[in-house]
Structure 1
Amino acid sequence: MTDSLWSWLITAPWALRPDTLLGASLLMVAAALLGEVAWRRLRWPRLTGYAAVGTVLALAGLGADGNEAALRLAVDVALALLLFEAGARLNLRWLARNPWLLATSLCEAALAGIAVLIAARLMGVPPTVAGPLAIIAMGVSPAVIQRVVGECDAAGQVTERLMALSALNTLYAVLGLKLLSAGLLLSDPGTWLSALPEVIVSFFGSFLLGAALGSLLALIARRLDLRNENSVVLVLGCVMVALVLAKTLKLSLLLVPLLAGMWLRNRTDRPWVWPRHFGTVGGVLVLVLFVAVGSGWSPSALATAGLVAAVLVLVRWVAKFAAVFALARPSGLAWKQAGALGASLLPLSATAWVLALDFGVAHPAVGPALMPFVLAMLAFIELPSPLVVMYSLRAVGEIEKEPR
């Protein structure tokens, strides 16, 4: 009887663990309070407070592993909203008018991927792991960029280019990893025939569903102002329905919202400016997202892959910085602006975590070897990256010294 009572107590909703109702609620309160302290006292983005709570969880061995059903749902919805917002800010006509910006995006992403691949191989990482790791490292987290820019009211040439590069980098990383995954499945004589329909549906279905979601919201926008707070629930509902369809059809949960935002933005000359955090519900989801990602690593992953990850983080950052700096003049940037833009390309965050998790599910032989490197890289990047972005944009005068 004593054993059953103890078992009931530690599994009750009020047990002090992150996967219980009380534990999750207290974590949200702690993250929200720490985020406000960081913002009001230090003038740092609230994300630093959220990531700090995640770091404490990781150090205590209580971090998320990404396979919890309820948590993964919250992460997918939050990331979908942020990627949709990132896509809705990407003006393809601007890229057509300034092809050097597109060239900068392609060069910094490619150079970062190549540099990480070479560094990983030189440090003994197997090619089956170094390949997907290099593609993931091409990306820049739109989630971190969007939140820092939104909270600090950043505005200017560097800010606009940073948001465009983060959206494009995410597109490259998602497409690149899907192509690699498809190549691995189709190159295996034992799986290619059964994998072919799934690969075709996944590629073309993601594009079609993204275009359909963007078209639906564009149609609704003709009668309603989707930028109004009262219409946020409508946008959230449409995105969630699209995510359900994407998950059911095994489409990309990252590609669909990003393409939907791009489709919506580029069907009209009208700029889309969304309410901060997509309303209260979106704000809660964003908080959960960054606490979860901040806690995703573990001390064991850091011990196993920490040295390699630290080198890869540095190599990736230097490669992106060098590409931006080299193409600064043709793309219309001053040297100081180029330095700020290059430095701001540090964030990796939730997009990398979800990409690695999904690749591990599709390729279980590679996943366990890949995850420690990705998690160790996130451990080094997650906490400082919002500050790097904020101070870089402030250095070029695109953030006020004392933001509101």
Structure 2
Amino acid sequence: MVDALTQALSFLGAAFAWEGPNALLGSSLVMIAGALIGEAVFRRLGLPRIVGYSLVGMAAAATGYGVGNGTMPTAVRLVVDLALALLLFELGARVHLRWLRTNPFLLVTSLAEAVLTFGVVYLAMRWLGLDASSSAAVAVLAVPASPAVIARVASEFGAEGQVTERVTMMSALNTLYGVFASKLLLAWLDLDTGQNPVQAVVHPLYVFAGSFLIAGLLGFAVAKVARGLDLRNENSTLLLLGLITLALALTKMFGLSTLLMPLMAGLWLRNSTERPWVWPRHFGTAGGVLVLMLFVIVGSSWSVEGLATGGMIALVAMAARAAAKGTAVLTLGWFSGQSLRQSIGVSLALTPLSATALVMYSDLQASHGNFAGQLAPIALSSIAIMELLGALAVLAALRSAHEIAARRA
């Protein structure tokens, strides 16, 4: 029985090799297992489907496959980038930035929460004996709350209300802060390795300016298409997917931010018009498959060796992160009109750490492989653990705020 289970898990793990005779078989098994287990936990346990997806990834990682070594094959990174692009674009298109003008303390709370998270995690890592560069890198990865997890849980359970709206806004802002901080970290590391100071400073500016430019072009193109077509139509959905894929290809071609571009495009689209945008669920079947694979891949971003090496440090980092985010939101939430119940809900819902942090780590590894390798046990263990626990925390937050319809609760 044990041998049969081990063999089955090995077949699942083969999907993450993305090459060889078992690659197609493994990919198929992953999709089937993810769909079945995701639906089972949703229908029978009332939990988000991404919990099931994550469990499949964790099972594959337990056999020694996955991205627990910190290296994502090209095909895996493409799936992650495209799935995240769809989710971030949709998230950005739901965020109305004028809310920050009418309620500026929401922005103050978001900034304070991000800064405090960085500071507390940095100090915790220094206390555990990490050097300044490693502590700063872990702190930067801890800043963003996963918009992918938050968006999927809220969508699956039909959540609506103040906590849902505030967490959506804050996760979008968190992503912006995280990308900005990660580029500053890369510039700092480049300076430490003796790179030209001008190049170290100019490159982050190039990334931001180029990402904003492609984001604007994508937002403009989608707006033009939406004037003549119903985006909920199947053919229009394929066109929308094509535009996002093209923009993502250009982003990767020019070495820009695959996180910043789709989020900014959605923000541009939402805030350049008063028209409400209604999106097809998961952007159609193809988008649904990508989302499933995204959470399976992130769930696989750990290894037994890495967990044994850096698991305790990762738990300390995540505890410090949760304490910092909770302190900022509970302290400042009242000034932005939040009740205590809502503040607790927002604090819980900011728990997830998932694909956004994984992409940030992957970018760090691509440019500073040896340095990133030292952080892999801490960073990847944190990401895998918090994807699963974070989804449960978001669900608990939305339920406690009574923002989930009774039929879904």
Q: TM-score, normalised to structure 2's length?
A: 0.92
1:58 shift after superposition: 1.6
Q: Distance in 2 between the 1:383 and 1:15 partners?
A: 19
Q: Distance in 2 between the 1:16 and 1:372 partners?
A: 19
1:224 shift after superposition: 1.9
- Pairs within 5 Å for 1:1-400: 17-18=14-15, 19=17, 20-64=23-67, 65-186=70-191, 188-192=193-197, 198-400=203-405
Q: Distance in 2 between the 1:140 and 1:16 partners?
A: 28
Go from structure 1 to structure 2 and tell me whether the alpha carbon gap of 1:328 and 1:196 turns closer, same or farther (over 3 Å shift). closer
1:286 shift after superposition: 0.3
Q: Distance in 1 between the 2:267 and 2:234 partners?
A: 21
Q: Do the aligned partners of 2:298 and 2:354 also contact (CA within 8 Å) in 1?
A: yes
- 2:8 alignment counterpart: none
Please report the RMSD computed on the Cα atoms of aligned residues, expressed in angstroms. 1.9
Amino acid at match of 1:252: S
Amino acid at match of 1:237: G
Go from structure 1 to structure 2 and tell me whether the alpha carbon gap of 1:27 and 1:242 turns closer, same or farther (over 3 Å shift). same
1:371 shift after superposition: 2.1
- 1:10 alignment counterpart: none
Give 5+ residue unaligned stretches, structure 1: 1-13
Q: Distance in 1 between the 2:307 and 2:149 partners?
A: 22
Q: Distance in 2 between the 1:128 and 1:329 partners?
A: 35
- 2:4 alignment counterpart: none
Identity rate of aligned residues, in percent?
48
1:15 shift after superposition: 9.9
Q: Do the aligned partners of 1:16 and 1:22 also contact (CA within 8 Å) in 2?
A: no
Q: Do the aligned partners of 1:43 and 1:402 also contact (CA within 8 Å) in 2?
A: no
Go from structure 1 to structure 2 and tell me whether the alpha carbon gap of 1:196 and 1:165 turns closer, same or farther (over 3 Å shift). closer
1:229 shift after superposition: 4.0
Go from structure 1 to structure 2 and tell me whether the alpha carbon gap of 1:62 and 1:219 turns closer, same or farther (over 3 Å shift). same
Q: Distance in 2 between the 1:16 and 1:342 partners?
A: 35
Go from structure 1 to structure 2 and tell me whether the alpha carbon gap of 1:190 and 1:173 turns closer, same or farther (over 3 Å shift). closer
TM-superposition CA deviations, 1:242-262 (whole Å, max 9, x none)? 111111111111111111111
TM-superposition CA deviations, 1:329-365 (whole Å, max 9, x none)? 2111111111111111100100001100101111223
Q: Distance in 2 between the 1:377 and 1:83 partners?
A: 21
Greater mean deviation of Cα atoms: 289-298 or 190-199:
190-199
Q: TM-score, normalised to structure 1's length?
A: 0.93
Q: Do the aligned partners of 1:310 and 1:380 also contact (CA within 8 Å) in 2?
A: no
Alignment partner of 1:398: what SS? coil
1:225 shift after superposition: 2.6
- 1:5 alignment counterpart: none
- 1:3 alignment counterpart: none
Amino acid at match of 2:107: L
Q: Distance in 2 between the 1:199 and 1:393 partners?
A: 36
> What is the aligned length?
392
Go from structure 1 to structure 2 and tell me whether the alpha carbon gap of 1:365 and 1:159 turns closer, same or farther (over 3 Å shift). same
Go from structure 1 to structure 2 and tell me whether the alpha carbon gap of 1:389 and 1:190 turns closer, same or farther (over 3 Å shift). closer
TM-superposition CA deviations, 1:370-393 (whole Å, max 9, x none)? 222111112321212111111211
Q: Do the aligned partners of 2:234 and 2:284 also contact (CA within 8 Å) in 1?
A: yes
Greater mean deviation of Cα atoms: 149-158 or 263-272:
263-272
Go from structure 1 to structure 2 and tell me whether the alpha carbon gap of 1:280 and 1:122 turns closer, same or farther (over 3 Å shift). same
1:135 shift after superposition: 1.3
Amino acid at match of 2:45: L
Amino acid at match of 1:185: D
